Structure 1
Amino acid sequence: MIKSRRKLWLFVGLFFSVIILLTLLVAPSRNQLMSGSTFGVAPDGYAAWYEFMQERNAPIERWQKSFKTLQQNYSDNSITLLRVYGKSAQFAVSKTEREWVKKGNTLVNLAFQGRVTEAPFSTSHETDFGAVKIETTRRNTDSFKAILKDDFGAIIWQEKQSEGKIIYVTTPYLAANAYKLSPGNYHFLANLLESSGGNKILVDEYIHGYKDKETQEIEETSNVFAYLLNTTLLIILIQGLVIVLILIFVYNNTLEKKKNLARATANNSQEYINALATILQNAQSRKFIIKTIGEVEQLKLQKKLGLKVGKQDRESLVQAWTQQTKKTPIMLEKLLKMSTKKPSLNDIKLLEWMKQWKTIHQEINFQSSDYDNKQ
């Protein structure tokens, strides 16, 4: 009886340890949320610049709702939306966002983008608003309209989209707190937003995890169950609960056996053991492995790319990966498609499939290392 109780608590402890570990891995860190946020007071935050904009009475406010809500709330099509992505965040402008821009709105993205060039890491550029300090070797050499550039390419450029436009900046730190003593940076970004033609400037804090009370209430009541359905967490939860319930049932049966020694319980115990073995055997199914590992690898890939936690559409994920690695998306598209169809693979093909996922992740690590070395 004592051994049965120990095994029961051991399995319960392991189950909840896995849940806690997954939560820690999936949840974004506090530092990542604050990087680029107007609530952040660290050097990579934007609190000082936001206060600067308020002092000059700019029509600016923090936006703490989803992009879908933004589309529904503003129909005048004269909005300038500023997005400052954090240290490791990667972005990709979606088809929905481009359609919104085409109606006459402006989207301004500050992120690590463009190619790493031989430009000096720290440069100063004279503008009508004073010297603008830029600290990145990234430049864009494509044929877009440059707003700020040097001999190595465009530092800030814009892409016309029908009645609107998208403005790109190669660094997320253009007007961060670290540049408070470089007023040219603050004035330059302010003019960039105010001259875009919009009647209102919104700073997207939703991408940093900040949500107003109304949004929190709506998402907590309507999206929690949907979120669980779209993650492997639900699978683990259901299987863990089933195993725990079986163990509890076995444990109770053991106590009943102690009360009545004359009752033959060997066969009953064997049935419970067989039931548990059946569950574990199902967990080793190749199709189950492909589906489960495929979803876990996709979540890991989303985290490395800086995308939001939760199920992402295949197009956005492939676009973000391709933009960062500059590699052909054929392998990634094949892996995502295979995870969805859950084909039956033999041992050799299954190992090859897992190696391909490892290659996908290594491309991101390689690009990040290359960027750090060159900067």
Structure 2
Amino acid sequence: MPSRLPGDRPVVTRSLPFQRRTLILGLLALALLLGLLVLGGPSSSPLESGSTWHRGPAGYSAWYKSLEQQGISVQRWQRPVDDLLEQLDEAEGATVTLMQNSASSETLVAVLPGFVAESELPALLPWLPDWVEAGHQLVILGVKAPATAAPFSQTLSSETGPVQIDTRRRYTAGSRLGVALEDDYGAVVWQQAIASGPVTIAATPHLGANAYLDQPGNFALLTELVAGAGQRVWIDEYLHGYRDEEAIAAEVGSDSWLSYLARTPLVILAAQILAVTLLALLASNRRLGQRRSLPTPTIDNSRAYIQALAGVLHKANSHDFVVQTLSQAERRALQKSLGLGETPISLDQLQADWDQQSDRPATDLSALLNPPVPKNESQLRDWLKRVQSLHYPENATGDTSGP
């Protein structure tokens, strides 16, 4: 048992009840979890627009499902398109059937996450020339065209039925190899030559989006564009940020936790360490440093009785009782301090002995020990200050509570 220094008071240890502590820890953990979800939870990314995984109005999940229901060979591609080209080249070189049917090319669909100018396509789709020169079909949705005076929302006629369009952009300049959807203001879906090959382009990235689920003509037109000749359809999901395991491993280089820490920003690491430290401290129910116990309160019965009596007299405004009681007590204390014993003597004799003391201030004891009854608390405090000055002259105008 550790030794205790002289003068130390005995201490006791207090801790929260088990149920209450468990409840507090649970609430804190819940608050921390909600904070992490709000601050670090996944949020909707602009890249999700046009993805077949996205079920929002701008996604293409409904159209992708319709292709599967029709029995069309369709597959999501979540790696660089260059890898797809290599895979197709290896398959053609290894299989005689594919070499004989090389005319039946593959179709790649690239739904841009927004309107992208044609001049920006080489940076966004660097594989485009290689894909077209390989003889494959390419459908790009969302190439920015000039805005015209066309109504923003209208229904256009096509070979597959009415198509709902919500854009004023139309392709009017440049040569076109063919047009699949147009009006008097220009083409909405057309075909033009890019990198010595035909590319099908739409002026809107939302031609077959989920928002047009109730417009069968939109889905039918897009299906005809990508699978009209019965070729296999690939959907570029790598463009929208989706990666398969091989692509992630190639980009990251390693899947160990050390690599994760090396890529994690220091702020996030510091926040995680702080959160774990706080949870550990709360679990042990102690603050940093050594545990300090609460001191045992010392009970003074006399002081408690005096304070209780003072509170009652204060509420009852019993100034006369207070003055009378304290006057008698002060008279006995003065008589004893002057060496006159405890037998009551007259105020005149007490005054005479008081005046003979050279270290005592000149005071009218008769007026001080036999005062008129105070009419209010302010007068009572003034009287108490004068009485106190008999014992502590330097505190005659100070606090009535004494030194």
Structure 2-normalised TM-score?
A: 0.46
Question: Where is the helix percentage greater, Structure 1 or Structure 2?
Answer: 1
Structure 1-normalised TM-score?
A: 0.49
The structure that has the greater radius of gyration is 2
